[in-house]
Structure 1
Amino acid sequence: MNDTFIYLLKSMIYAGIFFGYYTLFLKNTIYHAYNRFYLLAAMALSVVFPMFHLSISVFEEEVAATPALKYLMYGSTAPVQGLRVTSANIPSELVPMYVISALLLCYLAYSIIRIFRLKAMNAKKQMGDFTFIETDLEEAPFSFFSNLFWKKSISIEDENGQKMLQHELTHIREKHSWDRLFSQLICSVFWMNPFNWIMQKELQNIHEFIADRDAVGTGEVDAFAKMLLQTYYGNHFLNPSHSFYYSSIKRRIIMLTTSNTPKYAYLRKVAVLPLVAISLVLFSIQLSAQKPKPKKEVATQYTVTMRPDSTTFSDPKTGKKVFSVATRDMPPPPPPAGAPAPPTPAVLTLHGSGSDVKVIHLDSTTVEFKGQSGGKEIVFRAEKVNNNDLGSGKKPNVILSPSASTSPKVKPLIVIDGVITSEINLNDLNPNNIQSMNVLKGEKATTKYAEKGANGVIEITTKKP
């Protein structure tokens, strides 16, 4: 029920805006053909536009902070959808409204049937594109589609009769009956919208203005105006509204004597387009809140320098130090096959953050650190830079070396140029003299060096002089 009332309210607002523009800029002008189709379009759009639904997504924080956004989000409704009409889903409050619409539609059907019965009961004669039907009905003459109902007491031969005949033939040629039928359907279904009835009445006046202009032609306007005042001329078959609105005779005479083009004629016609667009956006927009999407973490690359007591991460572009990691314990190499499970990876402390970082991977060319910083999981990956790519006088970016606090039991076997070296400080080696470095772990180390390689083997090959 709430959706129905909001739809009807929006329909009234649209109709009011369109008719207000017509009253200010188009009414009582000589643009009769333009005004005719403007009023028809206004009635149709006031019914269709409330069904449009423009959805815009905004973040929940913005909705909470802006009252206008709250109204657009919670005060708007989804577009009116076609529903199966059953007794179960029709609110009792809407039943009277539907009953009145049904009665008005029945009245419209009765009026049409009455016209065709009148045609069948009276003499008729085919005259070109229309059927001439003589009747004693007081409302005659009037036309309905290609049927012209003529009052027998009016002579078709005299001057007034000829003008009235031309008037009705204009209604037939311009197919004004379609306009009357369409507007009456809108008014019957949406009878609760007062602007529909006003626009229907104005549309009937436009029809009369068009027919009057065509009937007068090059003749005297005064004679036609006198005929209007002397003859009761009505057309009430498709109009259940009352006649107390006002008489259109005065306006018809005024429009017959008006020929001046108003100022800004073209602007008056096209200015309605932005009005229609703005109205559609303002009354059809509906907001839907959404949570902000988490930003994808961009992988950060660092230049890493590893030493026995610390590892330094530097900006690869500027070379400036970003942060450093102090090593308390380096993880031991994997045990040989069948040996007990390796101990828990050593814990590293990220300077200045108070967060714990773990070494999660270590081999001859790569080391990875994993930890928590600011509630987010961070993984750092350091890769060894090939010494051959360094220019003269430059230090290598990564130096693989054991920790100073490493226990002798887990000290790897160091082999330089095929010779096992029991005691040597890797920092004493000149990196520029190292041709290659290889790390053997697990089964590969014990297969080649037996029990001596149980804790891993570092093979270093130096450059030959």
Structure 2
Amino acid sequence: METFLIYLFKASILLSTFYGVYFLLLRKDTFFTINRHFLLVGIITSILLPFIEFTTIKFIENPVFYIKGTPLSASENVIPETLNWWLIGSILYGLGILIFLSRFGLQLLSLKKLLAHHQSRKKDGFNFIEVAQDIAPFSFFNTIVYNPVLHSREELDMILKHEKIHVQQFHTLDLILVNLLLIFQWVNPFAWLYKKNLEQNLEFIADREAINQMTSRKEYQLTLLKVSSNNYSTITNNFYQSLIKKRIVMLNKQSSQSKKLWKITVILPLLSLFLWSFNTREVVRVKQDIKIDQNASENIVIQEKEGKIIEFIVDKSSSKEDLNKVKNTLKNDYSLEVKFSGIKRNDAHEITSIKVDISSKKGTTNYAISNDTPINSFVIIYNSETGKIEIGQSRNNSNYVWVVDKDSKSKKGKTMKIHTGDKKNEYIFSDGDHKDIYEIHTNDNKTFAYITGDRDGEPLIYIDGKKSTKKEMEKLNSDTIEMMNVLKGKSAIKKYGDKAKNGVIEIIIKKS
């Protein structure tokens, strides 16, 4: 809903911009047909232009976005309840739509009932309906409704010529379009003024065309002043409008000079300003690799690449507030439903078990991890362009295969540093208190780093559910890997038996 409200805000700005140009520069001119087209273009533009987005590319070096935090106590981990103003605004806006949509529907039903209960007479492509009610003559598509008793023969002839212009130029379509627009922009005061001015301009058009078919301009104006009645509906073209004085003034106004048409072009720079201000998205591209420090105590890392990929890294210290940040971001910005459940923490408030369920219009994804010890970090990856969701072991986790570009160096011990490029960006991997030995192997210009021991033996390796070897793993191209997962301790033994006491590396290959 938040996305729709943002769209509505942009559409309201566009419609208000067109109204401002019309009111300040065009409404006093006699270019009635051109003004009609201008107002219609304004409606269509306000509907479609918010969907158009332009992209600018900005190159930066080593962007890292950390949301840092420390483990919270149970009492500190409670998120204070606040009013959801987006929800309140959405409810109020929705109620307004319901009211005005119901009003529009009742008008259509009332009109349908009136037309259905009277016999029509067809002549020259028009449907004429004579009624006994005291209502103003009006037209709806090719049907003209009037009460012949209320008007003299001369007056009726002028009225019918006026209404025929509305029918021939399809003015009913303009009215339906602006009424539908008003339903969705009822909160925009300029939308109401827009509708009023569009209706007035349609009357100016019909008056001008009708007067050209008559011998006496004076008699037509006297008819406007003499006869008054009730308008039937806001979705019909009524001969009598409340602003009769304006119609008479425009009838007697000298035709505007064509050189004044330049004023219409004022809308173009204003539209450009709108696109630059609201519909330009900046895409950040990384010049070099990103420095990731596993020793930093980040709880969640959120990183967006090229406006398409967004990643959320969850680790053992992620608080309830951190998880809610992930949940709310994916829901509000990307319409994904995220549920964290089965969360267990140790005495140090570190996560030992967690389950993640994510659903979208294209499908569902889930991930679960349960240990006696604090969990290894895992990553939630969402591609906003393709809608693909992936959940797996975090690239910051040293307990599974990780891929980096360029040449690398390594050293044994608690941590491993991989230096890349002239600026020696460091990738630091730590395995807590364990003193594992790491090896570096290069294949197809990719560098693989993985654990080989000080433990009792090497972990099992499964590729697409089939037991494999370290040698086969080294041959893999990183671009073909969809997900990697590491099981250790009781989780590994429970799934694969005692043979998995040294852990298991699970690799899923992308399906072609």
**1:63 and 1:289 in contact (8 A); partners too:** no
What residue number does 1:161 align with?
Answer: 156
1:63-109 C-alpha deviation (Å, 9 max, x unpaired): 99xxxxxxxxxxxxxxxxxxxxxxxxx94541231132123222222
Letter in 1 for 2:11: S
Tell me how far apart the structure 2 counterparts of residues 177 and 373 of structure 1 sit (CA, whole Å). Answer: 68
Change (3 A) 1:20 1:155: closer
- How far residue 280 of structure 1 moved from its aligned partner, in angstroms, is 2.5
Question: Secondary structure, in 3 states, of the residue corresponding to 2:28?
Answer: coil
Separation of aligned partners in 2, 1:272 and 1:91 = 34
Aligned residue in 1 for 2:112: 116
What is the TM-score when the length of structure 1 is the normalising length? 0.53
What does residue 230 of structure 1 align with? Answer: 226
| Alpha-carbon offset, residue 160 of structure 1 | 1.7
Q: Is the 8 A contact 1:57 1:289 kept in 2?
A: yes
1:181 alignment partner in structure 2: 176
Which residue pairs with 2:46 in the alignment? 46
RMSD over equivalenced CA pairs, Å? 3.0
Match for residue 204 of structure 1? 199
1:258 aligned partner: 253
When structure 1 is superposed on structure 2, of 24-33 and 259-268 the one drifting more is: 259-268
Between the aligned partners of 1:239 and 1:190, the Cα distance in structure 2 is 17
Instruction: Please say if residues 62 and 288 of structure 2, whose CA atoms lie closer than 8 Å, have aligned partners that are also in contact.
Output: no
Residue number in structure 1 paired with 2:134: 138
Amino acid across the alignment from 1:37: H
5 Å matches for 1:374-389? none
1:143–1:149: 8 Å Cα contact kept in structure 2?
yes
SS across alignment from 1:122 = coil
The number of residue pairs the alignment matches comes to: 269
Name the structure 2 match of 1:19: 19
Partners of 2:244 and 2:45 lie apart in 1 by 30
The one-letter code sitting in structure 1 at the alignment partner of 2:42 is A
* CA radius of gyration, larger in: 1
Residue identity matched to 2:54: L
TM-score (norm 2): 0.48
Q: For residues 231 and 95 of structure 1, do their structure 2 counterparts lie closer, same or farther at Cα, with a shift above 3 Å needed? A: same
Measured after TM superposition, the shift of residue 141 of structure 1 is 0.8
**Per-residue deviation, 1:291:** 2.4
Deviation, 1:34, is 0.8
Q: Secondary structure at the match of 1:264?
A: helix
Q: Give yes or no for contact 1:59–1:290 (8 Å, CA) kept in 2.
A: yes
Distance 1:47 1:236, change over 3 A: farther
Counterpart in the other structure of 1:365: none
Per the alignment, do residues 287 and 152 of structure 1 end up closer, same or farther by CA in structure 2, a change over 3 Å counting?
same
Amino acid across the alignment from 2:12: M
Structure 1 375/275 Cα, relative in aligned 2: closer, same or farther at 3 Å?
Answer: closer
Q: Does structure 1 residue 289 correspond to structure 2 residue 276?
A: no
* CA distance in structure 2 between the partners assigned to 1:63 and 1:119 by the alignment: 67
Kept in 1: contact 2:21–2:266 (CA 8 A):
no
Aligned to 1:103: 99
* In the alignment, structure 1 residue 190 sits paired with structure 2 residue 185: yes
Structure 1 gap segments, 5+ residues each: 65-89, 241-245, 295-371, 378-465
Q: Distance in 2 between matches of 1:373 and 1:253?
A: 79
Higher strand proportion: 2
- How is 1:449-464 mapped onto 2 (pairs within 5 angstroms)? none
Give the distance between the partners of 2:198 and 2:55, measured in 1 at CA: 35
Cα displacement (A) at 1:37: 1.5
SS in 1 for 2:149: coil
Please give the per-residue CA displacement for 1:29-59, whole angstroms capped at 9, x wherever unaligned: 1111111111111122122222222222213
**Pair 1:376–1:21, CA change in 2 (3 A):** same
Segments of structure 2 that go 5 or more residues without pairing to the other structure are 65-85, 290-419, 426-512
SS in 2 for 1:131: strand
Q: Take 1:373 and 1:164, find their aligned partners in 2: how far apart are those partners? A: 83
The change in CA–CA distance for 1:55 and 1:126 in structure 2 (over 3 A counts) is: same
CA contact (8 A) 2:208 2:251 kept: yes
Q: Which residue of 2 aligns with 1:3?
A: 3
